[in-house]
Amino acid sequence: MKKAGVRFEPTSTGLLAALSTACGEDPKAYTIEKQRQLAELGYENGQFEAEALIQIEGPEHFSNLLLGLAPLKPHRLQVFDSRFGIRLPYQGTLFDDLEELRLTPPTLGSCEISVRSPGFGRAARLDGEMFIGSPMAEPHGPELLVRTSDFLIRLTPPALKFESVGSIDEIEHTLEEWADLLRALTLMATGRATLTIAGNERIPAVTFPVNQPVTGPYLDELPVISEFVDGWLRLLANAGIRSNTRFKFDAFWQSNEARMAVDILLRPKSLARFEFQNLAIEDSSSPPEGLYFNSTSFADTSITFSAKVFFEKTDDPEWGYRSTGFEALDVRPKVDDLEEYGMDQAAACDLKLLIDPRNITLTPQSAPLKRPIYHRTWGSWWQQLPRRGTK
């Protein structure tokens, strides 16, 4: 007190003057600052320290612990409240139900992951973050972890290992995120893709061949679904629509009608075809042409579209006319009056034959991805894709 204290008269007036000098002119602000100091000072390096007894099953398990891929399951945990470097046993209940911990490895920053096919096809691009593991000599040397929201890549001197995170049925993505993920999985499933990790200032870009096919659910359906997502995004762009909602993979099992629109409007040789017993057209030497129009939805987006349908006369005694191809004419946000839209499109294209979607149905096929054939009443264009278990 003699070194740092300030003397005052032992009276009420003297005490008031000393407190006013120490606290300043705003007692409320002083009280708030003092409460902050009491709560925070001495805890700059964290409040709690713990000592735990854990069991390490080997070098690979130890590497997983350090990379945060496997949880620490303490057999004995002792927690201390450490303030100004002085540790006191923690007496609260905050850690009573703690069963496991996970470490966060040092980060090297963000990166970009691209998966490409050997040809001229479109690549998949995803954002990731890079982490560095402990520089262990065994079993495979130092390890680098690249993590995305859906999968992780582990790099060691001898190999690259790809692992998914969780179940594809449980994750949620926007349409654009699904497009890149499904394209990446489809390309890697072929066993002929290349994977590049780039975009990090501390690590040079590296490219690896993905020559071992990936395993997992829905591998037979992924190419079809991936092609549909890319096509649907293209139709939305043409219509001036953007999809923003996040949805689960399960939504793709209900996408048959939207896949029909993508197939008719974008596929050079459509899998779909129309068949009719008769067409209400005047006799003409040229092959008949008609207009097909409809509205369809997927996720949070809806469109209305039209296409010219080219027909040929057949020798089939049951179906006298069969479509031979389609020409995309229009796509726009969903209209309120579909019948009026169809009439306007037919008039603009000088087409006399209108194919009303209410009069079209699907002839079932034995397999979900075979060529669909349309007949007289409305129906979806592909059968529902079969659902399987997940891994």
Instruction: Give me the DSSP letters along 163-207.
Output: EE-S-TTT-EE-HHHHHHHHHHHHHHHTT-EEEEEE--TTS--EE
Contact between residue 21 and residue 30 where contact means Cβ atoms under 8 Å apart = no
Domain range annotation of the chain = 29-103, 107-214, 224-375
Write out pLDDT tens, residues 327-369: 999 999 999 999 999 999 999 999 888 888 887 776 654 334 3
Q: What one-letter code names the amino acid at 194? A: T
Q: What is the pLDDT averaged over residues 144-157?
A: 85
pLDDT value at position 362? Answer: 64
Percent of the chain scored above 70 by pLDDT? Answer: 88
pLDDT value at position 285? Answer: 53
Band the pLDDT of 165: cuts 50, 70, 90. confident
The residues facing 198 across adjacent strands are 112
**Greatest mean pLDDT among 40-54, 120-134, 279-293, 322-336:** 322-336
pLDDT value at position 281? Answer: 60
- pTM of the entire structure? 0.72
Write out pLDDT tens, residues 89-114: 988 888 878 888 888 888 889 999 99
CA dist., res. 252 & res. 196, Å (int): 28
pLDDT value at position 233? Answer: 97
b vs e for 197-216, b when ≥16 Cβ sit within 10 Å of the residue's Cβ? Answer: bebbeebeeeeeebeeebee
Average pLDDT, the chain: 83
Band the pLDDT of 284: cuts 50, 70, 90. low
